[in-house]
């Protein structure tokens, strides 16, 4: 069988079976791959109780392949594969991740990550950033809209598809153990699709779809596992691949380390966000206080100027009326009351009945005048 070449569907090669952002993905990209017999597991985990049929009809022994995270040094997972299969440690960008006899080649590819929101503000933000949104679709629709056109460009013809609920359940169980920064509801689906090229060479593609429903947004993604093999051994190779995915064993210590690291990142992010929001609030309050102070000062200046103009106008008008009526305005300084009197005198004395005595004699005091001193007289102030 001639070697099939699969172009990258995204920027990175994934050796994963579950959701984006999990430690499984990081470890598979940067991990150190080794091989060990099923009796040499260093996690205390037991391999599946089944073996894989070989292409010649015999039963081939299954061994656990540990994957070590280069960042932590921990074994992140162990994958059960036929003993003759080999995890490639130095693969090319488009090369297979796993190889085996009978033309077995396994490829891992991302199938795209998408986001959708009903929030108009979020939609506008994505549009301004030149990023598109896409509503989630069911796995069958994804195969028709995304996978099938890509496969047709590669000269592949669709043969059949088979639901793989056991893989979906495995992905769901693993993802449920991972830390989530925000509450969400996840749905996982897996589908096996068979394809064949013009030469009759088969290809089996496992499609994994994950939809994460948050409070306001939906994030969803797909990833693919592809296996090619000679036609005579294809069914056995497919069974071995599915068995390896369903029975992959994850290290709880690695999951705990990943969750702790993600929790710390989230806490730091929230702390930075809260500090920024608090600083923004303080800046806003300072700006508001300055604005109020400036506005009050401007308003006071404007009001003082207005009152001064009104007072001047009132004085001018009042003086004009006094001139027309031949009157003066006097003020009782003890009460602040103002009274109108006949003009022509320099000073005015007033009793409690608002009766007044005009006088031009600065020495005159009605309180000393025996003709009128039977009552109290108060000198008033003549207003200008």
Nearest to 64 by CA among 88, 33, 95: 33
In this structure, what DSSP letter does residue 182 have? S
Q: Give the count of beta carbons closer than 10 Å to the beta carbon of residue 269.
A: 11
Strand order in the sheet with 347-350: 356-359, 347-350, 378-379
Give the per-residue pLDDT at 378: 87
Nearest to 6 by CA among 150, 128, 135, 161: 150
Q: Please give the angle made by the CA atoms of 40, 45 and 49, to the nearest 5 degrees.
A: 90
Give the per-residue pLDDT at 83: 95
Q: Is 120 helix (H, G, I), strand (E, B) or coil?
A: helix
pTM for this entry: 0.59
Q: Give the count of beta carbons closer than 10 Å to the beta carbon of residue 329.
A: 19
Give the per-residue pLDDT at 281: 73
Interaxial angle between packed helices 23-30 and 252-325, expressed in degrees from 0 to 180 and rounded to the nearest 10: 120
Residues 75, 24: Cα–Cα separation, whole Å? 11
List all residues 6 or more positions away from 333 whose beta carbon is below 8 Å from its beta carbon.
Answer: 380, 381
Enumerate residue ranges in the chain where pLDDT < 70.
Answer: 1-59, 91, 270, 273, 284, 291, 312-314, 320
User: 206-243: buried (b, 16+ CB within 10 Å) or exposed (e) per residue?
Assistant: bbbbbbbeeeebbbbbbbbbbbbbeeebbebbbebbbb
Give the per-residue pLDDT at 132: 87
What are the backbone dihedrals phi and psi of residue 80, each rounded to the nearest 5 degrees, phi first?
Answer: -80, 120
Measured in whole angstroms, the distance separating CA 195 from the mean position of its chain's CA atoms is 40
Q: What is the mean pLDDT of the chain?
A: 79
Q: Is 171 helix (H, G, I), strand (E, B) or coil?
A: helix
Give the per-residue pLDDT at 108: 92
């Amino acid at each position: 069988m001639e070697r099939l070449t699969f172009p990258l569907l995204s920027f990175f090669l994934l050796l994963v079976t579950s959701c984006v952002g999990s430690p499984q993905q990081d470890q598979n990209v940067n991990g150190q791959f080794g091989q060990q017999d099923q009796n040499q597991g260093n996690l205390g985990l037991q391999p599946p109780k089944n073996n894989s049929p070989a292409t010649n009809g015999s039963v081939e022994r299954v061994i656990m392949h540990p994957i070590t995270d280069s960042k932590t040094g921990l074994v992140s997972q162990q994958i059960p594969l036929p003993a003759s299969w080999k995890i490639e440690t130095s693969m090319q960008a488009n090369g297979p991740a796993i190889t085996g006899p009978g033309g077995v080649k396994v490829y891992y590819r991302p199938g795209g990550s998408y986001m959708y929101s009903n929030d108009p503000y979020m939609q506008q933000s994505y549009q301004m950033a030149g990023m598109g949104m896409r509503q989630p679709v069911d796995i069958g629709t994804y195969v028709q809209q995304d996978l099938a056109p890509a496969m047709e460009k590669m000269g592949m013809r669709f043969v059949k598809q088979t639901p793989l609920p056991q893989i979906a359940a495995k992905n769901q169980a693993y993802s449920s153990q991972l830390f989530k920064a925000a509450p969400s509801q996840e749905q996982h689906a897996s589908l096996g699709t068979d394809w064949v090229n013009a030469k009759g060479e088969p290809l089996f593609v496992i499609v994994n779809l994950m939809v994460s429903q948050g409070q306001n947004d939906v994030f969803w993604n797909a990833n693919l596992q592809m296996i090619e093999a000679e036609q005579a051994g294809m069914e056995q190779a497919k069974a071995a691949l599915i068995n390896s995915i369903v029975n992959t064993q994850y290290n709880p210590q690695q999951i705990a380390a990943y969750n702790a690291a993600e929790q710390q990142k989230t806490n730091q992010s929230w702390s930075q966000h809260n500090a920024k929001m608090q600083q923004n609030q303080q800046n806003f309050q300072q700006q508001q206080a300055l604005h109020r102070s400036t506005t009050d000062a401007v308003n006071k200046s404007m009001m003082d100027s207005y009152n001064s103009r009104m007072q001047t106008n009132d004085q001018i008008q009042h003086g004009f009326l006094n001139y027309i009526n031949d009157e003066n305005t006097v003020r009782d300084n003890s009460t602040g009351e103002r009274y109108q009197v006949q003009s022509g005198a320099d000073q005015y004395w007033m009793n409690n009945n608002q009766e007044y005595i005009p006088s031009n004699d600065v020495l005159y005091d009605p309180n000393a005048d025996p003709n009128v001193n039977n009552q109290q007289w108060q000198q008033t102030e003549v207003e200008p």
